[in-house]
Amino acid sequence: MIDIKLIRDDPELVRENIRKKYQDAKLPLVDKARELDSLNRAAIKEADELRAKRNALSKQIGVLMGQAKKDPSKKEEAEQVKAQVTAQAERLAELEEKEREYEAELHKVMLQIPQIIDASVPLGPDDSCNVEVQRFGEPLVPDFDIPYHTELMERFDGIDMDAAGRVSGNGFYYLLGDVARLHSAVTAYARDFMINKGFTYCIPPFMIHGNVVEGVMSQTDMDAMMYKIEGEDLYLIGTSEHSMIGRFIDQIIPEAKLPQTLTSYSPCFRKEKGAHGIEERGVYRIHQFEKQEMIVVCKPEESMDWYEKMWRYSVELFRSMDIPVRQLECCSGDLADLKVKSCDIEAWSPRQKKYFEVCSCSNLGDAQARRLKMRVKGADGKMYLPHTLNNTVVAPPRMLIALLENNLQADGSVRVPEVLRPYMGGTEALVQR
């Protein structure tokens, strides 16, 4: 959510940003926000004036009632002034109700206006216009066939999607044996990797209140992703970033406590609406998965430096497991409304002979802080809004696809990367049963 002052002072900048995001249908929201803001400020001004007059008249009543002991006519005058106070009280009540209505309506409008994107973001209407920035590692295609990832897992008796379908429906899975152990090894390694980068490990709540959801994501994203708990003001998290950032709702953070750097483990639950291609069956796009996440809350002037560090952590992690990756800069039309800048880290799939998304790193500027009423108290005592960032450390079900494919050997075994072996009891390879 952007600052209302920006809409007051430079509405054309806000409109141009909406155009850059190819959301022209939202252009009328700028004028609507300006209108509601003007009406609200006028109501506030009149109400403040009435309060000042009421206070003055109340004092006058007191004086007149004191004088009425000697001059009975003053009592009648006091009653007339009381009538004025009563009339003003009715008008004041009307204005206060209007203030609440204007503020509520303005808030709804402001939630729909996208954050101002960074000048470095490439322009384009959708993800087809995302820009490859650089590659890390050589993308190789072996001279033997690589089966689809679920078929590969089945070779090791490592997955049962049929049983999961009977128990829970489509979009769920059982992981078993060495594949399940590899999944846990990846999350444990990713946890320790981030701890070694100076991040504090956290296991957050897996359900959050509606006001936190509103604070961390757009209404469109919420409707598409979140599962609501029936009869409760609770939502299952789609990513632990939501509850991690939500930890700071309505809080004042001493500047000396910045940056806040946290890495979290959690299950994640997503509706994942819509139909997807054959490459997104299996465990690629599912309703439930586990993830290691990283978030940063920092000074505004430090957020771009953190953005650079965070996506590079993902690259370093994947390369340590011998997985080639690339950085893909997200274009303006592919950015969620709260994001200032974002990039994807994509892993190489030797079977598909292309890259696919495994991490998403985002700088959200002060959008979440403003929505959640997070503030920082500076050394000078002044308050300001921090910036928030998030990035996937690793989401094992999808990441397992890249790991299995890139470490598959000609004899059908899967090499376990050296960094994971301590978490696998020293196992060097998965062997077909």
Q: Do residues 338 and 413 share a domain?
A: yes
Is the Cβ–Cβ distance between 85 and 58 less than 8 Å? Answer: yes
| CATH, residue 380 | 3.30.930.10
Domains contained in the chain, number: 2
Whether the upstream peptide bond of residue 300 has omega within 30° of 0, thus cis, is no
Is the Cβ–Cβ distance between 174 and 183 less than 8 Å? Answer: no
Residue 262 reports pLDDT greater than 90: yes
Report the alpha-carbon distance of residue 37 to residue 373 in Å, rounded: 19
> From the DSSP assignment, how many helices (H) and strands (E) are in the chain?
13, 18
Q: Indicate the pairing of strand 429-430 with strand 252-254.
A: unpaired
Is residue 120 domain-resident?
no
Is the Cβ–Cβ distance between 290 and 304 less than 8 Å? Answer: no
Residue 78 reports pLDDT greater than 70: no
Q: Could you tell me the pLDDT band of residue 28, with boundaries at 50, 70 and 90? A: very high
Q: Looking at residue 63, what is its pLDDT?
A: 59
Is residue 366 domain-resident?
yes
Q: Do residues 144 and 49 share a domain?
A: no
Q: Looking at residue 196, what is its pLDDT?
A: 98
Q: Looking at residue 89, what is its pLDDT?
A: 80
Residue 214 backbone dihedrals phi, psi, to 5 degrees: -60, -30
Is residue 244 domain-resident?
yes
Helix (H) or strand (E) holding 369: helix 367-372
Q: Do residues 270 and 384 share a domain?
A: yes
- State the amino acid at position 343 in one-letter form: C
Range of the structural domain that residue 34 is part of = 4-112
Q: Could you tell me the pLDDT band of residue 82, with boundaries at 50, 70 and 90? A: low
Q: Do residues 102 and 209 share a domain?
A: no
Range scoring the smallest mean pLDDT among 55-59, 93-97, 393-397:
55-59
CB atoms within 10 A of CB 145: 7
Helix (H) or strand (E) holding 311: helix 303-319
> Which residues are registered as beta bridge partners of 394?
292
Q: Do residues 71 and 153 share a domain?
A: no
CA angle 95, 96, 97 (to 5 degrees): 90
Mean predicted lDDT score pLDDT of the chain: 91
Q: Do residues 106 and 144 share a domain?
A: no
Tens of pLDDT, residues 369-416: 999 999 999 999 999 999 999 999 999 888 999 999 999 999 999 999
Is residue 368 domain-resident?
yes
CA angle 303, 304, 307 (to 5 degrees): 90
Tens of pLDDT, residues 333-350: 999 999 999 999 999 999
Q: Do residues 173 and 94 share a domain?
A: no
Q: Looking at residue 405, what is its pLDDT?
A: 96
Q: Could you tell me the pLDDT band of residue 273, with boundaries at 50, 70 and 90? A: very low
Q: Do residues 304 and 414 share a domain?
A: yes
Residue 317 backbone dihedrals phi, psi, to 5 degrees: -60, -50
CB atoms within 10 A of CB 412: 14
Is residue 170 domain-resident?
yes
Report the alpha-carbon distance of residue 282 to residue 175 in Å, rounded: 12
Q: Do residues 190 and 98 share a domain?
A: no
Tens of pLDDT, residues 97-154: 999 999 999 999 999 999 999 999 999 999 999 999 999 999 999 999 999 999 999 9
Q: Measuring CA to CA, how many Å separate 213 from each of 208, 221, 271, 376?
A: 7, 10, 15, 21
Edge-to-edge strand list for the sheet holding 235-236 = 207-208, 235-236, 227-228
Is residue 122 domain-resident?
no
Tens of pLDDT, residues 159-202: 999 999 999 988 899 999 999 999 999 999 999 999 999 999 99
Answering whether pTM is above 0.85, one says yes
Helix-strand-coil percent breakdown of the chain, rounded to 5?
Answer: 50, 20, 30
Report the alpha-carbon distance of residue 17 to residue 22 in Å, rounded: 9
What mean pLDDT comes out for the span 268-279?
A: 62
Helix (H) or strand (E) holding 34: helix 28-67
Task: Determine what percent of the chain is predicted with pLDDT higher than 90.
Answer: 79
Is residue 121 domain-resident?
no
Q: Looking at residue 88, what is its pLDDT?
A: 75
What DSSP character marks residue 108? H
Residue 422 reports pLDDT greater than 50: yes
Show contacts of 419-425: CB within 8 Å, 24+ apart: 419/189, 419/320, 419/321, 420/182, 420/185, 420/186, 420/189, 420/321, 423/184, 423/185, 423/188, 423/189, 424/181, 424/182, 424/185
Q: Which of 38-52, 125-139, 218-232 has the highest mean pLDDT?
A: 125-139
